[in-house]
Structure 1
């Protein structure tokens, strides 16, 4: 038995050697396994530090938001004033903006809108010839001295109305379009209601006081033309939005109506940016200003609806009841400066955005019943410069999911989302509603899949029913 002792020792050594090697391998394995974890932990720490740095930087930017001066600090000398951003419809400044007042020739903006809209629809052409009637020929005030029976194109008369505020040209257009000025006035008042102009009432196409209209052509009710500054801004918004080519007329600085005329018509809007090169008007010229309409009567005082665009943001200003023709432009500058100096258009939500909590909708009979949804367009607000917009709140309204059945095309509307935001320094809560649409096609599942899904749902309901018995 003694001769077997060396073999037993050799076996023990081999076992010990194997355990040692295994231990080393296990230790190496653990080390290599921990290395990625340590690296990941280090990466997470670095990423966390980076995120904190970004947040800090963002906060620094956000705290530099413009401090909006009070409207009182502008020292406006007006009966009323409005500043409006036409894309969002936001009101940035309001001084008695809801008060109905005589608008004088700012009334012609509605005549301009209706005529341009009818041309756009193809019912009339800019080259159509207008024959001047008795009413137009007898109209007083700003005019181009049309005689009864004169013939001019719609474009020629429209130009005279837009840049020289010609009352006779305006009446000639109204009568050509509707047959009579009072029939045209009905169209004006109907359009005002459609646009949401709550205080506006039109007595004629020009803005003249009724007593200054030719006898025999005055409205029977004797109700004068009135329009609030807000209504004027709404009307201007429709012009610049529905007819973005309005500048084809409003930026003409001067033009002869007839070749034989000794002097040209001069644009009554002294604030046109192009006037910076004109000696008499350069003190009023305003960067980006390209419209829109002046107005003056003894009852209205001096009024002006102006519009200007800078850095992709257009603003519409209205001042009413200023003391002089110069004052209306001085006050307009104050109003527009208030807007451009203190506000900016900021995209709050880009297009094709997923709304947290409403990433998908359920579509019956689809191959994949959960279909992703996104917003159909971007959301932008006009906010104080540098404002923190992180507090925007979405409110989702979905269609009844029982009505959503495959197949559905990509881009199908399945609901809406309203984004709300109250910017610091602004009284109003800003809101915009956009559609939620499917981000991909919802293809209908085959009959076999629908059958198996129905069987699964049957047994699931059965199991839940049995479970609820106990």
Structure 2
């Protein structure tokens, strides 16, 4: 083959590779610059959420379903706690360990069939040590069998708005790692969850069961008196680990939960929550590369928390008891006045990037009745106002509806006043009709 031809091909390859590199680098730079200051994560998916409002501050492939490993135990924790709140179980109930629990592999507290422990002891083993055997036994206590409990998990996921979640067991283990006799036949596939769903579940736990964090932040717990060593919490990010020489570099001020996860198919996962200066955030990372013992998932989570706490501030974009421009009052029937002045019942406070401006626009105002009927007391809910605004952190279009309340009372009019008003309205409409003829 002629040398000239080889030279031309070599030049063409160099140009093509240079173009691809240039295009790729510019694409990465463009993605990084899309949200100024946003962290660059080594994770397959991630999300950062405000635990008070559910507002999303950062997202990376947040709706991609992936194996969550033991993060799926958050659903088991939630359902066990709800069963206790509903009186179906008691924390002090003593239960006997069954075959399915005793045969579990992976992280476990080495329960033997026939052992007896309280619901609370098993719950702590699940929350602190991610014990698969304790988790399965709790699932069976709630629903009679793990398979029936999985049905409840999937039904609850739908109720909570977890659109990319599917559970096949209570633990997050791959199907092949379950005892063969107890592998589910009523559900197919493997357990899957998106980062957004994990954050949504954490959000519901914090809202509905805030006392769970008292369990989640336990550093270590001696399960049996005869045990030589206590269980150690897999969450190395706990703020209390600042005094632990081994884990100090992972400790993050304010972290008090929630759940780690690791399998070969899931990689390293973590759903964490931290409270600082009155603001609580939820962060999820999934598919973080590396080994389970290198702590990289916690360092990636720290990037999210740093971004949230350092780059955002709370801003009230709609004040409570504020007048809605051009909708200062609503019509009233049978009242001394024909209108009632209205104001917003509550404010709307969101986390925004420092220095950002958010301008909500009124989209719709509605009365609870059309028209309202007197008497109306001051403070009564009389309608709603819907605002639309652009979320400054994600650029998503958002809508929010706030109640409207009466800022003054409107007493019911006497029959005499109503009669005179009706006569006046009659002649007014009659006069207007005559005017319209000309």
Determine if the TM-score, normalized by the shorter chain, exceeds 0.5: yes
Matched, 1:123 2:91: no
Once the 2 structures are TM-superposed, how far is the Cα of residue 244 of structure 1 from its aligned partner?
A: 1.7
CA distance in 1, matches of 2:333, 2:412: 9
Once the 2 structures are TM-superposed, how far is the Cα of residue 401 of structure 1 from its aligned partner?
A: 5.7
- Structural mapping, 1:32-43, within 5 Å: none
Aligned to 1:69, which of 36, 40, 53?
36
Partner of 1:342 in structure 2? 311
Q: Is the radius of gyration larger for structure 1 or structure 2?
A: 1
Alignment gaps of 5+ in structure 1: 1-66
8 Å contact kept, 1:313–1:344: no
CA distance in 1, matches of 2:255, 2:239: 5
Once the 2 structures are TM-superposed, how far is the Cα of residue 431 of structure 1 from its aligned partner?
A: 3.3
Which shows bigger deviation, 222-231 or 202-211?
A: 222-231
CA distance in 2, matches of 1:426, 1:82: 11
Partner of 2:255 in structure 1? 289
**CA displacement 1:314-343 (0-9 Å, x = unmatched):** 111111111223111111111211211211
Partner of 1:458 in structure 2? 426
CA distance in 2, matches of 1:372, 1:126: 52
CA distance in 2, matches of 1:356, 1:455: 32
Partner of 2:389 in structure 1? 421
Partner of 1:324 in structure 2? 291
Which shows bigger deviation, 288-297 or 90-99?
A: 90-99
8 Å contact kept, 1:361–1:401: no
What's the secondary structure of 1:466's corresponding residue? helix
- Aligned-residue Cα RMSD (Å) equals 1.8
What's the secondary structure of 1:380's corresponding residue? strand
Once the 2 structures are TM-superposed, how far is the Cα of residue 468 of structure 1 from its aligned partner?
A: 2.4
Once the 2 structures are TM-superposed, how far is the Cα of residue 207 of structure 1 from its aligned partner?
A: 0.2
Aligned to 1:304, which of 270, 275, 282?
270
What's the secondary structure of 1:216's corresponding residue? helix
CA distance in 2, matches of 1:411, 1:118: 37
8 Å contact kept, 1:409–1:441: yes
- Structural mapping, 1:242-257, within 5 Å: 242-257=208-223
Matched, 1:198 2:163: yes
TM-score (norm 1): 0.81
Once the 2 structures are TM-superposed, how far is the Cα of residue 129 of structure 1 from its aligned partner?
A: 2.3
Partner of 2:140 in structure 1? 175
**CA displacement 1:96-134 (0-9 Å, x = unmatched):** 111111100000000011111222233322222222211
Once the 2 structures are TM-superposed, how far is the Cα of residue 91 of structure 1 from its aligned partner?
A: 1.8
CA distance in 1, matches of 2:212, 2:378: 36
Aligned to 1:78, which of 43, 50, 57?
43
Once the 2 structures are TM-superposed, how far is the Cα of residue 256 of structure 1 from its aligned partner?
A: 0.7
**CA displacement 1:353-391 (0-9 Å, x = unmatched):** 2111111111100122211111121101111012233x2
Partner of 1:92 in structure 2? 57
Matched, 1:186 2:135: no
Partner of 2:24 in structure 1? none
Aligned to 2:118, which of 146, 153, 159?
153
TM-score (norm 2): 0.87
8 Å contact kept, 1:381–1:430: no
8 Å contact kept, 1:68–1:342: no
CA distance in 2, matches of 1:291, 1:92: 19
Which shows bigger deviation, 320-329 or 99-108?
A: 320-329
**CA displacement 1:417-443 (0-9 Å, x = unmatched):** 223333556422343221112233332
**CA displacement 1:11-52 (0-9 Å, x = unmatched):** xxxxxxxxxxxxxxxxxxxxxxxxxxxxxxxxxxxxxxxxxx
CA distance in 1, matches of 2:102, 2:191: 21
Once the 2 structures are TM-superposed, how far is the Cα of residue 257 of structure 1 from its aligned partner?
A: 1.0
CA distance in 2, matches of 1:400, 1:208: 50
Partner of 1:13 in structure 2? none
8 Å contact kept, 1:163–1:250: yes
Higher normalized helix content (fraction of residues) = 1
8 Å contact kept, 2:222–2:230: yes
8 Å contact kept, 2:58–2:393: no
| Closer, same or farther: CA 124–366 of 1 in aligned 2, 3 Å | farther
The alignment covers a number of residue pairs equal to 401
8 Å contact kept, 2:37–2:307: no
Alignment gaps of 5+ in structure 2: 1-33
CA distance in 1, matches of 2:237, 2:221: 17
Aligned to 1:362, which of 331, 335, 354?
331
Matched, 1:136 2:105: no
